[in-house]
């Protein structure tokens, strides 16, 4: 178990499970599990807590969750109760867990001495002395075995009974049902198709093992348990809200509200009212008091999405919230105290906005206590693109009640070559379309992506051979180079913004925003 896992373990305590009577009925034992598997929890910490609770329920000294590695064909320990080593691997047929994986049948071993199925090297590796073992298979909804649930050394020196076997089988069924809703299970399925990329995950529902993402995972594990304000920066579609939720559910406020405010989706005149609420009579039509998002999120987290769109007057009120933890409703005089954590996100360059007088400098430094810069999909590498693709294929097929299609090599190569200006959101929509339209196999023709521009295409000339200004010896700021290139492309496509956005490989909204910054109207 990693140090981060150990430190987070206490944060995922499930309600105490009853020590079971002899009856094998466990229909109510693991119901609290379902509330967590759909959230962005730290799966290692959660599984660790789960194994602790199972050990207590089974009156065992310890327990281990083993999972089948599709690439190597062996079992690896994913979570263990009181482990001495971070991970153990056994082959199919090796040891009790390996025997269960091979036969698919439970094994109840009252005394391992002299048993050929007992793998004594694990005891020698850990320094632990095993006296009794009970292990049962984990199967998915299709009946395929993908893991083993094992408990060791029944308390009081007793042996595991037949009732214990039934009880652990019932627990395994509930654990398996829950795990199939997590990205861990989907990683196991993905690894069957992509064996060169080992099974890996950090947070449920967040897919990716690239080095840039691992940096973000480590920062979230450090920041989540605190109340520090977090600023998420990154391009549209790279998953800022998902990571914001990960900060929330891995912190101490996880059981309190997570309330989102999208500043880009609201008119400037309504944002203040949305955040702070209003009093009766504050304006025409305000016939009763309405609480704002900060009140709705009391003791929880407010996620301010696209904070760069926040009007300057509201920025001042938000600064007061961050400094003093108090505010007044619109039209009110009563000062209200509040206890919320703030997580903000933007795809804007806030430092540049500060320099231009469009964003308050004091607010900027208040919100970037912990800053997470999310990498765009194109910087995460081909393996992450393939992981996400296979994840989205399985999700879309399940959602639309279709058989999971194959992914052709040519389609996969096209996905890896594409620049993904819309990031993960664009990839997800692309794959959903392909799953719906294909017939058993996703081919390149099923991908709704822009056609590759040939050298003879009129758009090919929109890509300058040299950077604007460089051929004249003029040294330009990067922003000016970008501006000249965008205007050059727009001119080449006769002002068609959809065509220009495709040629530039950016979203049309992004293009519109940039043109607005250049002082051009957002029409056409």
pLDDT > 90: what percent of the chain? 49
State phi, psi for 199 to the nearest 5 degrees. Answer: -60, 130
Mark whether 315 and 331 lie in a shared domain: yes
In a domain, residue 199? The reply is no
Local confidence band at 446 (pLDDT 50, 70, 90 cut-offs)? very high
How many CB atoms neighbour CB 47 within 10 A? 24
Mark whether 220 and 300 lie in a shared domain: yes
Local confidence band at 113 (pLDDT 50, 70, 90 cut-offs)? confident
Q: Kindly compute the dihedral angle of the four CA atoms of residues 487, 489, 493, 496, in this order, to the nearest 10 degrees.
A: -60
Sign (positive/negative) of CA torsion 232, 237, 241, 243? negative
> Does position 42 have pLDDT exceeding 80, yes or no?
no
Model pLDDT, residue 18: 43
> Does position 204 have pLDDT exceeding 60, yes or no?
yes
The crossing angle, in degrees rounded to 10, of helices 183-193 and 382-399 is 110
pLDDT tens-digit map of 262-283: 998 888 778 888 899 988 888 8
- Mapping DSSP to helix (H, G, I), strand (E, B) and coil, where does residue 373 land? strand
**What does the block give as tokens for 485?**
């290139």
Instruction: Specify the DSSP element, H or E, that contains 244.
Output: helix 240-249
> Does position 462 have pLDDT exceeding 80, yes or no?
no
Q: Lowest-confidence range among 37-41, 408-412, 417-421, 512-516?
A: 37-41
Residue 393 or residue 195, greater confidence: 393
Rounded to the nearest angstrom, the gap between the alpha carbon of residue 89 and the centroid of all alpha carbons in its chain is 27
Model pLDDT, residue 33: 55
In a domain, residue 259? The reply is yes
What's the rounded Cα separation, in Å, for the pair 507 and 517?
16
Mark whether 120 and 226 lie in a shared domain: no
Q: Domain end: 446, 481, 499, which one?
A: 446
Mark whether 139 and 28 lie in a shared domain: yes
In degrees, rounded to 5, the angle at the alpha carbon of residue 320 between the alpha carbons of residues 275 and 301 is: 50
Model pLDDT, residue 193: 79
Q: Lowest-confidence range among 131-140, 209-218, 252-261, 507-516?
A: 507-516
- Mapping DSSP to helix (H, G, I), strand (E, B) and coil, where does residue 185 land? helix
Q: Lowest-confidence range among 19-28, 188-197, 298-307, 324-333?
A: 19-28
> Does position 19 have pLDDT exceeding 60, yes or no?
no
pLDDT tens-digit map of 335-384: 899 999 999 999 999 999 999 999 999 999 999 999 999 999 999 999 99
> Does position 424 have pLDDT exceeding 70, yes or no?
yes
Highest mean pLDDT among 17-31, 37-51, 160-174: 160-174
CA distances from 350 to 138, 172, 307, 313 (A): 49, 49, 9, 16
Local confidence band at 27 (pLDDT 50, 70, 90 cut-offs)? very low
In a domain, residue 61? The reply is yes
Residues 48-60: what's their mean pLDDT?
Answer: 89
Mark whether 52 and 125 lie in a shared domain: yes
Model pLDDT, residue 312: 92
CATH label of the domain that carries residue 284: 3.40.50.300
Mark whether 246 and 352 lie in a shared domain: yes
Mark whether 329 and 442 lie in a shared domain: no
> Does position 509 have pLDDT exceeding 60, yes or no?
yes
> Does position 456 have pLDDT exceeding 60, yes or no?
no
Mark whether 347 and 408 lie in a shared domain: no
Model pLDDT, residue 268: 78
Model pLDDT, residue 340: 95
Mark whether 293 and 352 lie in a shared domain: yes
Mark whether 189 and 50 lie in a shared domain: yes
Q: Lowest-confidence range among 108-112, 232-236, 517-521?
A: 517-521
CA distances from 160 to 16, 110, 259 (A): 22, 7, 47
In a domain, residue 200? The reply is no
What's the rounded Cα separation, in Å, for the pair 266 and 275?
11
> Does position 84 have pLDDT exceeding 80, yes or no?
no
Q: Domain end: 446, 469, 493, which one?
A: 446
> Does position 16 have pLDDT exceeding 50, yes or no?
no
Residue 279 or residue 10, greater confidence: 279
Local confidence band at 452 (pLDDT 50, 70, 90 cut-offs)? low
In a domain, residue 201? The reply is no
In a domain, residue 135? The reply is yes
Sign (positive/negative) of CA torsion 361, 367, 369, 373? negative
**What does the block give as tokens for 364?**
């900027």
Beta bridge partners of 327: 336
Mark whether 365 and 410 lie in a shared domain: no
> Does position 180 have pLDDT exceeding 80, yes or no?
yes
The range of the structural domain enclosing residue 403 comes to 377-446
> Does position 468 have pLDDT exceeding 80, yes or no?
no
Model pLDDT, residue 89: 86
Q: Domain end: 131, 158, 193, which one?
A: 193
What's the rounded Cα separation, in Å, for the pair 11 and 340?
19
CATH label of the domain that carries residue 395: 1.10.8.60
pLDDT tens-digit map of 298-316: 999 999 999 999 999 999 9
Q: In the chain, what are the helix, strand and coil shares in percent, each to the nearest 5?
A: 45, 15, 40
**Residue-averaged pLDDT of the chain:** 83
pLDDT tens-digit map of 211-256: 999 999 999 999 999 999 999 999 999 999 999 999 998 889 988 9
Q: Lowest-confidence range among 158-167, 407-416, 435-444, 511-520?
A: 511-520
The domain total for the chain is: 4
Residues 286-306: what's their mean pLDDT?
Answer: 92
> Does position 71 have pLDDT exceeding 80, yes or no?
no
- Mapping DSSP to helix (H, G, I), strand (E, B) and coil, where does residue 264 land? helix
In a domain, residue 417? The reply is yes
Mark whether 226 and 358 lie in a shared domain: yes
């Amino acid at each position: 178990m990693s140090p981060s896992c150990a430190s987070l373990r206490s944060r995922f305590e499930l309600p105490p499970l009853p020590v079971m009577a002899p009856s094998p009925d466990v229909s109510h034992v693991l119901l609290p599990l379902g509330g967590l598997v759909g959230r962005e929890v730290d799966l290692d910490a959660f599984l660790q807590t789960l194994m602790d609770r199972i050990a207590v329920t089974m009156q065992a000294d310890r327990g281990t969750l083993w999972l089948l590695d599709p690439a190597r064909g062996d079992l690896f320990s994913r979570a263990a109760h009181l482990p001495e080593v971070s991970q153990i691997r056994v082959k199919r047929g090796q040891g009790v867990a390996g025997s269960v994986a091979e036969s698919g049948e439970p094994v109840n071993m009252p005394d391992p001495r002299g048993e050929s199925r007992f793998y004594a090297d694990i005891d020698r590796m850990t320094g632990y002395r095993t006296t009794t073992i009970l292990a049962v298979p984990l199967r998915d909804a299709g009946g395929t075995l993908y893991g083993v649930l094992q408990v060791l050394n029944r308390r009081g020196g007793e042996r595991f009974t037949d009732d214990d076997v039934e009880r652990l089988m019932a627990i395994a069924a509930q654990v398996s049902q829950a795990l199939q809703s997590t990205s861990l299970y989907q990683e196991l399925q993905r690894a069957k198709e992509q064996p060169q990329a080992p099974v890996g995950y950090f947070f449920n529902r967040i897919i990716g093992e690239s080095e840039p993402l691992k940096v973000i995972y480590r920062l979230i594990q450090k920041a989540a348990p605190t109340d520090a304000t977090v600023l998420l920066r990154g391009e549209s579609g790279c998953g800022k809200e998902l990571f914001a939720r990960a900060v929330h559910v891995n912190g101490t406020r996880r059981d309190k509200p997570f309330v989102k405010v999208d500043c880009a989706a609201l008119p400037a005149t309504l944002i203040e009212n949305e955040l702070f609420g209003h009093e009766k009579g504050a304006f025409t039509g305000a016939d009763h008091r309405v609480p704002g998002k900060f009140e709705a999120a009391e003791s929880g987290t407010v996620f301010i999405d696209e904070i760069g769109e926040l009007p300057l007057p509201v920025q001042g009120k938000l600064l007061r919230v961050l400094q003093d933890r108090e505010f007044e409703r619109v039209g009110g005089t009563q000062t209200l105290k509040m206890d919320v954590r703030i997580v903000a996100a933007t795809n804007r360059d806030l430092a540049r906005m500060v320099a231009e007088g469009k964003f308050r400098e004091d607010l900027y430094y208040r919100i970037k206590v912990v800053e997470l810069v999310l990498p765009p999909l194109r910087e995460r590498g081909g393996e992450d693109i393939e992981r996400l693709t296979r994840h989205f294929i399985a999700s879309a097929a399940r959602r639309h009640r279709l058989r999971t299609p194959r992914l052709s090599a040519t389609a996969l190569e096209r996905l890896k070559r594409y620049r993904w200006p819309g990031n993960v959101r664009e990839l997800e929509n692309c794959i959903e379309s392909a799953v719906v339209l294909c017939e058993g196999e996703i081919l390149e023709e099923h991908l709704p992506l822009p056609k590759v521009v040939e050298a003879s295409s009129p758009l090919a000339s929109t890509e300058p051979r040299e950077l604007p200004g460089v051929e004249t010896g003029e040294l330009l700021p990067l922003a000016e180079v970008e501006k000249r290139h965008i205007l050059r492309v727009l001119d080449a496509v006769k002002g068609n913004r959809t065509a220009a956005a495709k040629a530039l490989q950016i979203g049309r909204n992004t293009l519109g925003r940039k043109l607005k910054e250049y002082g051009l109207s957002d029409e056409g």
